[in-house]
Amino acid sequence: MKMIFGKLGKVFASSIVALGLVAVMPMRAQAEDGYELWLRHARMDPEAAAFPTGFMLDCETNSPTLNIISDELQSAFMAMTGSELVRHDKLEDGTLILSSTQCSGSLQSDLEAVESDEGYIIRSENGEEIGHTLIGAKTDIGLLYGVFDYLRQVASEADLTKLDITQAPAIDLRVLNHWDDLNGHVERGFSGESIWDWFRMPDYMSPRYTDYARANASVGINGTVLTNVNADATVLTPRYLEKVAALADVFRPYGIKVYLTARFSAPMELDGLETADPRNSDVQEWWKTKADEIYEYIPDFGGFLVKANSEGQPGPQDYDRDHAEGANMLADAVAPNGGVVMWRAFVYSAEEPDDRVKQAYDEFVPLDGKFRDNVLVQSKNGPLDFQPREPIHPLFGGMEKTPVMLELQLTKEYLGFSTHLAYLGPMWEEVLDTDTHVKKEDASVADIVDGKTFNHKLSGIAGVANIGRDRNWAGSIFDQANWYAFGRLAWNPKLSSSSIAEEWIDQTFDLSNAGEETVLSMMMGSREAVVDYMTPLGLTHLMGTGHHYGPGPWVDDLGRADWNPYYYHRATADEIGFDRTKTGSNALAQYAKPLRKKWSNLETVPDNLLLWFHRVGWDYEMKSGLTLWQEMVRHYDRGVDAVAKMQSDWLNLEGEIDAERYQQISDFLGIQHKEAKWWRDASLAYWMSINGLELPEGSAQPEHSLEYYKALSFPFAPGQTQ
C-alpha cells in the first residue's frame, strides 16, 4: 500500500511544485493518532512502481480550488517521497494532464462525456510514441473530485496506463447533518464536543474546519447542516450568521454548501410575532426577509433542514396546517436564491398510535404532489429510529410526486456508540439494494432516492454526522470508515460496501495482504454481530431509556407506551413479537404487494425480520429446525463469539499497525466484548424470567441476576446533557 500511495503523491506533488501556486509544505509529523483519516500518506519507495513522469496544468486561470488541488498534491508527494516531479511545458511520455473547462482548458472536446458540473473523466491515452493520463472536468470542483478518485485508483493498485473512467454523482445533495447545539453539546454524539467553536468564530477559524472540508470533498460530500434538528432560532440572528458565513468561506473552494436547521417558531422567538402560522402573511414575509438576509451573508446558502411536530418541536400542525404548508412557506422564501428545504419525515404524534412505525406514511403520503419543487421529504432508512436492523421505510416508493431523501445515521446511537466496531456499509447497502416493487424494474431504494424511478429532478442523501472534537474525529478509528462509506454511497448508491471497505483499508493502514483480508473480514461481519447480541430475529428498540446505552427490554414504565422497549416485543410466557399483519396493526399494508406477500407469510418472511412483523410462540419452529427460543439464544451466543474472534484476529496484526491506533482499537474491542456479553446476559435473563425456559445445553448462564442488570444506571452517558 505504501508503494501505491507513493506513486500518486509523487505525481501530485510535482504538479504543485511545477505550478508554483504554493510554497513547498513541511513534512507532516509521523504520529499516527487517526487525525489524517484516510488521507494519510506514508513514506514509500518511489522506484517500486512506474510513476507519471510529470504533469501539465491545462488551465489559463487560477482559482482557490486549483490552489487546493496544488496543496493536496504537494502534501501527498512531500510526505511520501520527499522529492519533486517536474512540470512539463509540452506533452511528454507519462504526463498527467489536469484540465478544467472552468479555467479555460483547451481539452473541452474530451469533456463532452461529462454530464455533470461535479463529474470528471480519468483517461489513459497510450499512443505509439507518447502516453499520458488526463484528469478533466467542466469545473474546478469536478477536477478536485477527479484528483481524489485518481488517489483511490492508485491505492487500489489499478493499472494507471489503462484508466477509462467517466464519473458523475448519482445524488444531487450529499449532506452531513450535524446534531450540534450552539453550546458545544452534540446530541447523540460520541466523539467529544461539537467541532464548531461558535464562541471564537469568526475571529478565529480553526484549521480543523479546512481539514474537515478536505475530508468531505475527498469522498464527494457537498453539503453540511451545521446545527441540530432540535433547532435553536439563535443561529438565524446576525451575530451567528456572520459566523456561519465564515465557515461557508472555508468550505466553498471544496464544493461544500452550508445549510441551517430552521426552528418553525423563530418569528415569534426572535421578533415577537404572535404566531408562526404558515398561512399568516406576516409570518410568510418574515421568512422571506430572513432568507434574503441569510443570502446577503452567504450567497450560496443551501437552504433549511426542518424537524417539525415531532418530539416537542413546533410546526405547522400547531395551527391545524399540514407538513406541505409548512415546508412550502420556507421553500418559497429560499427559492429565489436557489435554496431547498429538507423536511424531515421523522414524526410521531402526541397521541399514542396503534403502531408508531405507521405514522410518517400516514401523514406524508396524502400530501404527495403538494410540496414545492424545491422541497425534499427526508426519511430515515427504516420506519422506526435507526435501529440495528429495520425493514425499509415505506415512504420509499410511497410518494411518486415528491422526492424522498434518505437519512442515515453515522453516529451509532443504537449500535454501541463509538467503542463498538460496527461498519455500517453493509447495513446501508442492504437498505439501498432492497426492491420496493413499486415498479417492475428500477425500483430499489437506490433508484427511488436518485430520482430514477419517478423522474424526480432533485435527489439527496443525508447522514447524521459522527464528527466531533476527538483527535481522531469520529470517536474511534473504525468509525471513520462510516464517514467514508457515507460519502462514497451518497456519490454512488450502488457501490458495494465491501469495495468501499477495501478502499478505506488501503488508505488508512499499511498492511500485508493477509492483514488487509483480516481487517476486511472484521468490518464486513461487524454489523451483523451487533444485531446478534442486541436485537436478533427482528427484535427492536430494546435499548436503555434516554441514553440508549445498553439493554433495557424490561422497561415498561415511561410516559407513553411507544417510548418503552416492552411496546416493541410484548413478550409473555407464550409469545413474543409485534404483529404487523392484517391481524395486527397492518403496517404491512403500507408496502407494495410483493413485499406484503413475502413479509406477511411465516414461510417466506426472513428470519431477521420475523419478530418485527409477527408474533409467535417461543416454541415456534424456525427454518433451521430449532425452536424460536433456541434460535434466539444461538444468535446471542454467535454475536458474542464474533466479537471474541475480532479480538483474536486483531491481536495477530500487532506490529503491522502503529502502536497508538493499534492499542486504541484493541482496547475498544475489549469494551465491545464485555458489553456484548452484558447485552447477551441481561437480555437472556429477562427473556427467561418471562418464558420460564432453560437455556439450551452448552449455552452459559447469565453472569448476574436480572435484578443486577435492572439496577445499572448511566446518568452521564455520552451524548446526553445529564
What is the residue whose three cell numbers read 463509538? 418
Residue 10, pLDDT score: 32
Can you tell me whether residue 558 is helix, strand or coil?
coil
Say if residue 661 is exposed, middle or buried (CB neighbours under 10 Å; 0-12, 13-18, 19+). middle
CB atoms within 10 A of CB 654: 11
3-state helix, strand, coil split of the chain in percent (to 5) is 45, 10, 45
- The residues annotated as belonging to the active site are 311, 385, 413
Cα(302)–Cα(458) distance, integer angstroms = 13
Cα(675)–Cα(161) distance, integer angstroms = 49
Amino acid residing at 408: L
What separation in angstroms does the CA of 591 have from each of 283, 333, 376, 599?
38, 34, 21, 10
Whose CA is closest to 21, among 104, 105, 87, 82?
Answer: 87
Give the H or E element holding residue 306: strand 303-306
Can you tell me whether residue 324 is helix, strand or coil?
helix
Residue 45, pLDDT score: 66
Contact between 114 and 91 (Cβ < 8 Å): no
Contact between 569 and 576 (Cβ < 8 Å): yes
Beta strands per DSSP E along 360-506: 375-380, 404-409, 460-464
Q: Where are the alpha helices (DSSP H) in 81-124?
A: none
Cα(287)–Cα(273) distance, integer angstroms = 12
C-alpha dihedral over 413, 414, 415, 417, to 10 degrees? 30
DSSP for 657-719, please give it: B-HHHHHHHHHHHHHHHHHHHHHHHHHHHHHHHHH-PPPPTTPPPPSS-HHHHHH---TT-TT
Residue ranges for the chain with pLDDT beneath 70: 1-31, 44-50, 77, 83, 85, 105-109, 128-129, 350, 721-722
Q: What count of Cα atoms within 13 Å lies in the side-chain half-sphere of residue 513?
A: 1
Cα(615)–Cα(603) distance, integer angstroms = 14
Q: Helix axis angle, 140-155 relative to 64-80, nearest 10°? A: 20
φ, ψ of residue 150 in degrees (nearest 5)? -60, -40
Q: Which three cell numbers stand for residue 294?
A: 441569510
Residue 380, pLDDT score: 98
Residue 20, pLDDT score: 35
CB atoms within 10 A of CB 621: 14
Percent of the chain with pLDDT over 90: 80
Contact between 489 and 428 (Cβ < 8 Å): yes
Residue 25, pLDDT score: 35
Whose CA is closest to 619, among 611, 627, 631, 630?
Answer: 627
Cα(460)–Cα(449) distance, integer angstroms = 7
Residue 525 DSSP symbol: H
Taking the alpha carbons at both ends of the chain, their separation in whole angstroms is 45
What is the residue whose three cell numbers read 507532516? 28
Can you tell me whether residue 196 is helix, strand or coil?
coil
Contact between 396 and 543 (Cβ < 8 Å): no
Q: Residues near 456 by Cβ (< 8 Å), separated by ≥ 6?
A: 402, 403
Cα(436)–Cα(252) distance, integer angstroms = 37
What separation in angstroms does the CA of 274 have from each of 266, 282, 324, 328, 380?
11, 10, 22, 20, 33
φ, ψ of residue 126 in degrees (nearest 5)? -115, 85
What is the residue whose three cell numbers read 418530539? 311
Amino acid residing at 414: Y
410-468-189 Cα angle (round to 5): 55
3-state secondary structure 21-48: CCCCCCCCCCCCCCCCHHHCCCCCCHHH
Sign of CA dihedral 66, 170, 465, 267: positive
Contact between 662 and 654 (Cβ < 8 Å): yes
Cα(580)–Cα(599) distance, integer angstroms = 10
3-state secondary structure 116-151: CCCCEEEEEEECCCCEEEEEEECCHHHHHHHHHHHH
Put simply, whether the predicted model's pTM sits higher than 0.85 gets the answer: yes
Distance of CA 560 to the CA centre of its chain: 30
